[in-house]
Amino acid sequence: MAGSLLSLFTAVLFYFGWASTDAETKALGLRDTIFHLSTSDYLLRSVDALFLPAWLGTAVAFSALGVHRMVRQGAPGVALLLRAGRHAWVVAFLLFPLYPLTPTTFDLAIPLLTIAGFLFTAYARTRPTDTTGAETASVRTDHVRLWGLALLISVLSLFWAVSTYAGIVGRGRADETARTVRIGLPAVVVFSEHDLLIRGGGSCHFRVPMKDSAYGYRYAGLRLFHIAGDRVFVVPREWSPQHGTLYELEQSESVRIEYVSGGNEQTDECSSG
Protein backbone atom coordinates (compact mmCIF):
# COMPACT_ATOMS: atom_id res chain seq x y z
CA MET A 1 0.00 0.00 0.00
CA ALA A 2 2.75 2.43 0.99
CA GLY A 3 4.67 1.56 -2.18
CA SER A 4 1.62 2.24 -4.36
CA LEU A 5 1.01 5.61 -2.70
CA LEU A 6 4.69 6.53 -3.14
CA SER A 7 4.56 5.56 -6.80
CA LEU A 8 1.40 7.62 -7.31
CA PHE A 9 2.94 10.59 -5.50
CA THR A 10 6.10 10.39 -7.65
CA ALA A 11 4.01 10.11 -10.82
CA VAL A 12 2.00 13.18 -9.82
CA LEU A 13 5.21 15.14 -9.09
CA PHE A 14 6.72 14.20 -12.44
CA TYR A 15 3.53 14.95 -14.34
CA PHE A 16 3.15 18.31 -12.62
CA GLY A 17 6.78 19.20 -13.36
CA TRP A 18 6.39 18.29 -17.01
CA ALA A 19 2.99 19.96 -17.44
CA SER A 20 4.03 23.20 -15.74
CA THR A 21 7.29 23.34 -17.72
CA ASP A 22 5.42 22.63 -20.95
CA ALA A 23 2.95 25.45 -20.24
CA GLU A 24 5.76 27.80 -19.24
CA THR A 25 7.90 27.23 -22.32
CA LYS A 26 4.91 27.45 -24.67
CA ALA A 27 3.95 30.79 -23.11
CA LEU A 28 7.52 31.95 -23.78
CA GLY A 29 7.30 30.87 -27.42
CA LEU A 30 9.56 27.86 -26.84
CA ARG A 31 9.26 24.13 -26.08
CA ASP A 32 10.59 22.16 -23.11
CA THR A 33 12.22 19.64 -25.47
CA ILE A 34 14.77 22.33 -26.39
CA PHE A 35 16.37 22.07 -22.95
CA HIS A 36 16.50 18.24 -22.71
CA LEU A 37 15.32 18.22 -19.09
CA SER A 38 15.82 15.04 -17.09
CA THR A 39 13.35 13.25 -14.82
CA SER A 40 15.01 14.78 -11.76
CA ASP A 41 14.69 18.24 -13.35
CA TYR A 42 10.94 17.81 -13.72
CA LEU A 43 10.61 16.49 -10.17
CA LEU A 44 12.58 19.41 -8.71
CA ARG A 45 10.57 21.96 -10.70
CA SER A 46 7.36 20.62 -9.17
CA VAL A 47 8.32 20.82 -5.50
CA ASP A 48 7.98 24.52 -4.69
CA ALA A 49 4.63 24.96 -6.45
CA LEU A 50 3.05 22.02 -4.62
CA PHE A 51 3.51 23.36 -1.08
CA LEU A 52 0.09 25.04 -1.06
CA PRO A 53 -1.79 22.02 -2.51
CA ALA A 54 0.02 19.78 -0.02
CA TRP A 55 -1.10 21.95 2.91
CA LEU A 56 -4.66 22.08 1.60
CA GLY A 57 -4.68 18.33 1.01
CA THR A 58 -3.48 17.74 4.57
CA ALA A 59 -6.22 20.00 5.92
CA VAL A 60 -8.85 18.11 3.90
CA ALA A 61 -7.50 14.77 5.16
CA PHE A 62 -7.75 15.89 8.79
CA SER A 63 -11.26 17.18 8.13
CA ALA A 64 -12.22 13.82 6.65
CA LEU A 65 -10.89 12.07 9.75
CA GLY A 66 -13.00 14.41 11.88
CA VAL A 67 -16.13 13.59 9.87
CA HIS A 68 -15.39 9.86 10.15
CA ARG A 69 -15.08 10.17 13.92
CA MET A 70 -18.43 11.98 14.11
CA VAL A 71 -20.03 9.23 12.03
CA ARG A 72 -18.66 6.49 14.25
CA GLN A 73 -19.85 8.29 17.37
CA GLY A 74 -23.31 8.81 15.88
CA ALA A 75 -23.29 12.58 16.26
CA PRO A 76 -26.61 14.41 15.63
CA GLY A 77 -27.34 14.94 11.96
CA VAL A 78 -24.97 12.17 10.81
CA ALA A 79 -27.76 10.07 9.31
CA LEU A 80 -28.96 13.02 7.22
CA LEU A 81 -25.39 13.78 6.16
CA LEU A 82 -24.84 10.20 4.98
CA ARG A 83 -28.14 10.15 3.08
CA ALA A 84 -27.15 13.33 1.26
CA GLY A 85 -23.63 12.01 0.75
CA ARG A 86 -24.91 9.03 -1.23
CA HIS A 87 -25.55 11.47 -4.08
CA ALA A 88 -22.52 13.74 -3.61
CA TRP A 89 -21.10 12.67 -6.97
CA VAL A 90 -23.82 14.71 -8.72
CA VAL A 91 -22.42 18.08 -7.55
CA ALA A 92 -19.51 18.15 -10.02
CA PHE A 93 -21.80 17.38 -12.96
CA LEU A 94 -24.08 20.29 -12.08
CA LEU A 95 -21.17 22.66 -12.84
CA PHE A 96 -20.71 21.56 -16.46
CA PRO A 97 -23.36 23.97 -17.86
CA LEU A 98 -21.36 26.83 -16.31
CA TYR A 99 -18.05 25.65 -17.80
CA PRO A 100 -18.01 28.07 -20.81
CA LEU A 101 -18.18 31.07 -18.46
CA THR A 102 -14.72 30.57 -16.89
CA PRO A 103 -13.07 27.44 -18.32
CA THR A 104 -9.85 27.75 -16.31
CA THR A 105 -11.70 28.01 -12.99
CA PHE A 106 -13.97 25.07 -13.70
CA ASP A 107 -11.09 23.04 -15.12
CA LEU A 108 -9.79 23.08 -11.57
CA ALA A 109 -13.06 23.04 -9.62
CA ILE A 110 -14.79 20.20 -11.49
CA PRO A 111 -12.08 17.53 -11.00
CA LEU A 112 -11.59 18.49 -7.34
CA LEU A 113 -15.32 18.27 -6.68
CA THR A 114 -15.43 15.00 -8.62
CA ILE A 115 -12.79 13.51 -6.34
CA ALA A 116 -14.55 14.70 -3.19
CA GLY A 117 -17.98 13.71 -4.48
CA PHE A 118 -17.15 10.18 -5.58
CA LEU A 119 -15.08 9.38 -2.48
CA PHE A 120 -17.78 10.68 -0.14
CA THR A 121 -20.44 8.80 -2.13
CA ALA A 122 -18.45 5.58 -1.76
CA TYR A 123 -18.00 6.26 1.95
CA ALA A 124 -21.69 7.01 2.54
CA ARG A 125 -22.89 3.99 0.53
CA THR A 126 -20.55 1.53 2.26
CA ARG A 127 -21.36 2.47 5.85
CA PRO A 128 -23.00 -0.41 7.79
CA THR A 129 -26.79 -0.13 7.69
CA ASP A 130 -27.37 -2.20 10.83
CA THR A 131 -25.92 -2.00 14.28
CA THR A 132 -24.38 -5.48 14.17
CA GLY A 133 -22.11 -4.51 11.29
CA ALA A 134 -22.68 -7.91 9.67
CA GLU A 135 -22.24 -7.99 5.89
CA THR A 136 -22.78 -10.75 3.39
CA ALA A 137 -20.10 -11.70 0.89
CA SER A 138 -22.07 -10.15 -1.98
CA VAL A 139 -22.42 -6.86 -0.10
CA ARG A 140 -18.68 -6.76 0.60
CA THR A 141 -18.01 -7.44 -3.08
CA ASP A 142 -20.30 -4.58 -4.09
CA HIS A 143 -18.50 -2.29 -1.66
CA VAL A 144 -15.10 -3.22 -3.07
CA ARG A 145 -16.32 -2.55 -6.60
CA LEU A 146 -17.79 0.78 -5.57
CA TRP A 147 -14.55 1.88 -3.89
CA GLY A 148 -12.54 0.65 -6.87
CA LEU A 149 -14.65 2.73 -9.25
CA ALA A 150 -14.47 5.76 -6.97
CA LEU A 151 -10.68 5.50 -6.66
CA LEU A 152 -10.24 5.07 -10.43
CA ILE A 153 -12.33 8.16 -11.16
CA SER A 154 -10.50 10.05 -8.41
CA VAL A 155 -7.06 9.24 -9.83
CA LEU A 156 -8.11 10.33 -13.33
CA SER A 157 -9.64 13.51 -11.91
CA LEU A 158 -6.48 14.13 -9.90
CA PHE A 159 -4.37 14.23 -13.06
CA TRP A 160 -6.94 16.54 -14.65
CA ALA A 161 -6.69 18.91 -11.69
CA VAL A 162 -2.89 18.66 -11.64
CA SER A 163 -2.73 19.45 -15.36
CA THR A 164 -4.90 22.55 -14.89
CA TYR A 165 -2.98 23.78 -11.86
CA ALA A 166 0.34 23.09 -13.59
CA GLY A 167 -0.78 25.22 -16.54
CA ILE A 168 -1.66 28.09 -14.21
CA VAL A 169 1.72 27.83 -12.44
CA GLY A 170 3.66 27.49 -15.70
CA ARG A 171 2.05 30.49 -17.32
CA GLY A 172 2.64 32.49 -14.15
CA ARG A 173 6.33 31.60 -14.23
CA ALA A 174 6.51 32.54 -17.91
CA ASP A 175 4.92 35.91 -17.21
CA GLU A 176 7.38 36.56 -14.38
CA THR A 177 10.34 35.61 -16.59
CA ALA A 178 9.16 37.78 -19.49
CA ARG A 179 8.75 40.79 -17.20
CA THR A 180 12.09 40.45 -15.42
CA VAL A 181 14.56 39.26 -18.06
CA ARG A 182 16.79 42.31 -17.69
CA ILE A 183 16.99 42.41 -13.87
CA GLY A 184 15.76 38.98 -12.87
CA LEU A 185 18.14 36.72 -14.79
CA PRO A 186 21.90 36.53 -14.09
CA ALA A 187 24.12 38.55 -16.42
CA VAL A 188 26.72 36.66 -18.46
CA VAL A 189 29.65 37.61 -20.64
CA VAL A 190 30.71 35.26 -23.41
CA PHE A 191 34.20 35.02 -24.91
CA SER A 192 34.63 33.10 -28.14
CA GLU A 193 37.42 32.20 -30.50
CA HIS A 194 35.11 32.78 -33.48
CA ASP A 195 32.24 35.17 -34.12
CA LEU A 196 29.03 33.63 -32.70
CA LEU A 197 26.81 36.14 -34.53
CA ILE A 198 25.00 37.18 -31.35
CA ARG A 199 23.29 40.41 -32.29
CA GLY A 200 20.40 42.64 -31.26
CA GLY A 201 18.03 42.75 -28.32
CA GLY A 202 20.31 44.90 -26.20
CA SER A 203 23.32 42.61 -26.61
CA CYS A 204 26.70 43.92 -27.75
CA HIS A 205 29.84 42.42 -29.22
CA PHE A 206 33.46 43.54 -29.37
CA ARG A 207 36.71 42.37 -30.85
CA VAL A 208 39.17 41.43 -28.14
CA PRO A 209 42.12 43.84 -28.65
CA MET A 210 44.84 41.64 -27.10
CA LYS A 211 46.71 39.84 -29.86
CA ASP A 212 47.85 36.96 -27.64
CA SER A 213 44.30 36.26 -26.39
CA ALA A 214 42.78 32.85 -27.07
CA TYR A 215 39.48 34.58 -27.75
CA GLY A 216 38.73 36.98 -30.55
CA TYR A 217 35.25 38.15 -29.54
CA ARG A 218 33.43 39.26 -26.39
CA TYR A 219 29.65 39.42 -26.00
CA ALA A 220 27.83 41.28 -23.22
CA GLY A 221 24.27 42.44 -22.52
CA LEU A 222 23.24 38.78 -22.18
CA ARG A 223 21.20 36.93 -19.56
CA LEU A 224 21.43 33.32 -18.42
CA PHE A 225 18.23 31.46 -19.35
CA HIS A 226 19.03 27.83 -18.60
CA ILE A 227 21.92 25.38 -18.12
CA ALA A 228 21.74 21.75 -19.24
CA GLY A 229 24.96 19.81 -18.86
CA ASP A 230 27.68 21.53 -20.90
CA ARG A 231 25.14 23.60 -22.83
CA VAL A 232 24.24 27.11 -21.74
CA PHE A 233 21.18 28.96 -23.03
CA VAL A 234 21.38 32.76 -23.05
CA VAL A 235 19.14 35.58 -24.27
CA PRO A 236 19.76 39.30 -24.94
CA ARG A 237 18.75 41.53 -22.03
CA GLU A 238 15.81 43.01 -23.99
CA TRP A 239 14.49 39.58 -24.96
CA SER A 240 10.75 38.94 -25.02
CA PRO A 241 8.61 35.97 -26.11
CA GLN A 242 7.33 37.98 -29.09
CA HIS A 243 10.69 39.41 -30.21
CA GLY A 244 13.93 37.71 -29.31
CA THR A 245 16.38 34.89 -29.94
CA LEU A 246 17.48 32.14 -27.58
CA TYR A 247 21.14 31.22 -28.10
CA GLU A 248 22.47 27.77 -27.25
CA LEU A 249 26.20 27.72 -26.44
CA GLU A 250 28.37 24.72 -25.73
CA GLN A 251 31.09 25.25 -23.17
CA SER A 252 34.41 24.26 -24.68
CA GLU A 253 37.97 25.46 -25.05
CA SER A 254 36.85 27.89 -27.77
CA VAL A 255 33.99 29.38 -25.71
CA ARG A 256 34.24 30.80 -22.20
CA ILE A 257 31.22 32.00 -20.24
CA GLU A 258 31.52 34.36 -17.29
CA TYR A 259 28.73 34.90 -14.77
CA VAL A 260 28.78 38.51 -13.61
CA SER A 261 27.72 39.20 -10.03
CA GLY A 262 25.38 42.19 -10.05
CA GLY A 263 25.86 42.55 -13.79
CA ASN A 264 22.13 42.68 -14.48
CA GLU A 265 21.95 46.00 -12.61
CA GLN A 266 24.81 47.67 -14.44
CA THR A 267 24.05 50.32 -17.03
CA ASP A 268 27.47 50.20 -18.68
CA GLU A 269 27.82 46.46 -19.22
CA CYS A 270 28.18 47.11 -22.94
CA SER A 271 31.10 49.47 -22.55
CA SER A 272 34.02 48.51 -24.71
CA GLY A 273 36.25 48.18 -21.65
pLDDT at 120: 93
- pLDDT per residue over 72-121, tens digit each? 887 788 888 888 889 998 999 898 888 888 888 899 999 999 999 999 99
Q: Region 196-201: what's the mean pLDDT? A: 92
Partner residues linked to 235 by β-bridges: 223
Q: Which among 27, 37, 29, 45 has a CA at the least distance from the CA of 174?
A: 27
Residue 169 CB burial class (10 angstroms; 0-12, 13-18, ≥19): buried
- The share of the chain scoring above pLDDT 90, in percent, equals 46
Mean pLDDT score across all residues of the chain: 87
**How far is Cα 1 from Cα 269, in angstroms, rounded to an integer?**
57
Detail the DSSP E strand segments found in 217-263. Answer: 217-228, 231-236, 247-250, 255-260
Q: Using an 8 Å Cβ cutoff, are 192 and 217 in contact?
A: yes
The 10 Å CB-count burial string (b at 16+, else e) for 221-239 is: bbbbbbeeeeebbbbbbeb
- pLDDT per residue over 119-172, tens digit each? 999 999 998 765 555 567 888 888 899 999 999 999 999 999 999 999 999 999
Instruction: Report the helix count and the strand count for the chain, using DSSP H and E.
Output: 8, 6
Query: 217 in helix, strand or coil?
Result: strand
pLDDT at 122: 93
Reply yes or no on whether the pLDDT at 265 is more than 70: no
Q: Using an 8 Å Cβ cutoff, are 29 and 239 in contact?
A: no
pTM of the model: 0.81
